[in-house]
Amino acid sequence: MLATVKETLRRHAMAAPGELVLAAVSGGVDSMVMLHVLCSLCGELGVRVAVCHVDHGLRGERSRRDAAFVRETAARLGLPFRETALDGEALKREGGSVQAAARKARYAFFREAAAELGAGRIATGHTADDQAETVLMRFLKGSGPRGLGGIPPVRGPFIRPLIEVGRDDVLAYARAAGVEWVEDDSNRDTRYLRNRLRLEVVPWLERRCNPALRRALVRTARLLRCDEEFLGAAAAALFSEALIERGGDAVVLDRAVIIGAHRSLSLRSLISAVGLVDPDVTLCSAHLEALASLVAGPAPNARLDLPGGLEARREYERLVVGRRRPPGGGAAAREIELDVPGDTFIEWARCAVEAGVVDASLNGAPPVEGIDPLTAYFDLDALRLPLVCRTRRSGDRLRPFGMEGRKKLKDLFMDRKVPGRLRDKALVIASADEIIWVAGLARSAAAPVTRATERILRLTCRNAEGPLAEIKDLE
């Protein structure tokens, strides 16, 4: 078995000489054997070993017993040790799967402990049997090739030194080497799907269908991971082409690029978008199908709730994947009086409105509207001061320049394909109760500059690099 692990470590470049490997040890036989093997090979590999443990707080005194066992083992071996105890009741209150919540918290602690100790790798005790169970479990849930590829030997900082070793070999090694371990009785609770597969389904299939079932499932996972590496590289290129914007809480993609690609690649790009916002969120096939329908469907503005507090929003030819916005949606109403003449900074749009007054008798012919969408001209004496700059309000209307009647701002936004995330940041300039300009989009028919005008008011939005710049550039 030791030779198999050495080859696994070498082939997958799991640890470099001089590197600190943090062993995630539960106290069970798999993780204890992994720790023993790493310690046995550390001199030959030139690596150092540290230990960490998580008490999930779900098994009372037995959890504390396991923590004490691992703590004492690390002390006896003279290895650096980090541990944490989770609030089991809090995990249960999170809703959804307690096992999933515990896993998320566990892996977050592993990363924190590795960062604190300076460990470049985090080793977990997954075996070939875990791989087979994972493939079968995901098959039953309807996973695609990516999920059926199972547990990768290396993913980011996480390595699985025992991933090519069966559990029978692990047990044989433990007995031969005198490795002690503790039993987790929850591993025999068949209410959990993985335990049910391990204890009931896999043995039945091996007796009745294929005695080498576990090896077959492991082989299937290996072949599918190979295919996934190729498809993943192609999907990464597609994602880079589709990426418009990437922020801390959102990813914006070009819808046309996504729907123009092969479905296999487009689905992987959508998974990548979700992973960038929250790497711990996993999409099941139903979520992925719903997301694909949102992208390809006829509705230009639509949204979809995703797991983990995320949402996807279709905004015309853009797809936004980000944190879910609060119910009720829009931003709080804002309003600020403009200095006329003078400059007024508009915080929510990250720009300034410059109001200049020009003597019309010195200006010659009336200025031409529409050359610069961020500049508008008005007959100052036909306006009622003060002017205000505000966000949109329900029922807003304006009289568009050169058109008859009034138009709802909502319809204006739809005609110009302004995404929902920008509508609450549009600059609405009003004189008394009349909208005279929606910066970057439309000037109203109010107070036009004519040959009878004596004073011209020039409104210009300066330093428009935020939301207003996006609005201006809309077709």
| pLDDT tens, residue by residue, 105-161 | 999 999 999 999 999 999 999 999 999 999 999 999 888 888 899 999 999 999 999
Band of pLDDT at residue 84, cut at 50, 70 and 90: very high
Residue 305 tokens read as 């709730």
Higher local confidence (pLDDT), 153 or 282: 153
Higher local confidence (pLDDT), 103 or 142: 103
Lowest mean pLDDT among 73-77, 137-141, 247-251: 247-251
Lowest mean pLDDT among 161-165, 247-251, 277-281, 296-300: 247-251
Mean pLDDT of 374-397: 90
Contact between 151 and 162 under an 8 Å Cβ cutoff? The reply is: no
pLDDT value, residue 467: 61
Mean pLDDT of 67-84: 96
Rg of the chain over CA atoms, in angstroms? 31
Q: Is residue 463 scored above 80 in pLDDT?
A: no
Residue 362: Cβ-neighbour burial (10 angstroms; 0-12, 13-18, 19+): exposed
Q: Is residue 321 scored above 90 in pLDDT?
A: yes
d(CA 473, CA 422): 12
Alpha-carbon separation of residue 283 from 225, 244, 288, 293 (angstroms): 18, 22, 6, 14
Alpha-carbon separation of residue 155 from 113, 140, 161, 317, 349 (angstroms): 17, 24, 12, 33, 41
pLDDT value, residue 474: 56
Fold of 247-323: 3.30.465
Alpha-carbon separation of residue 279 from 9, 144, 405, 410 (angstroms): 25, 18, 51, 36
pLDDT value, residue 370: 59
Share of the chain above pLDDT 90, in %: 61
pLDDT value, residue 279: 84
Q: Is residue 103 scored above 80 in pLDDT?
A: yes
Which sign, positive or negative, has the C-alpha torsion 358, 360, 363, 369? Answer: positive
Indicate the residue type of 239. F
Contact between 85 and 68 under an 8 Å Cβ cutoff? The reply is: no
Alpha-carbon separation of residue 86 from 101, 183, 259, 442 (angstroms): 11, 20, 43, 56
Angle at Cα 67 formed by Cα 65 and Cα 69, nearest 5°?
A: 70
Fold of 2-217: Rossmann fold (3.40.50)
Which residues, in sequence order, are bridge partners of residue 387?
A: 431
Lowest mean pLDDT among 13-22, 175-184, 271-280, 364-373: 364-373
Count how many residues are written for the chain.
475
Contacts of 451 (CB under 8 A, 6+ apart): 366
Which residues, in sequence order, are bridge partners of residue 21?
A: 49, 121
pLDDT value, residue 365: 57
Q: Is 314 helix (H, G, I), strand (E, B) or coil?
A: strand
Residue 206 tokens read as 């091996």
Band of pLDDT at residue 284, cut at 50, 70 and 90: confident
Q: Which residue has the tokens 């070793």?
A: 165
Q: Is residue 314 scored above 80 in pLDDT?
A: yes
pLDDT value, residue 101: 85
Domain range annotation of the chain: 2-217, 247-323, 335-472
Mean pLDDT of 192-210: 94
Q: Is residue 328 scored above 60 in pLDDT?
A: no
pLDDT value, residue 475: 47
Q: Is residue 331 scored above 60 in pLDDT?
A: no
Mean pLDDT of 218-226: 95
Residue 132 tokens read as 């087979």
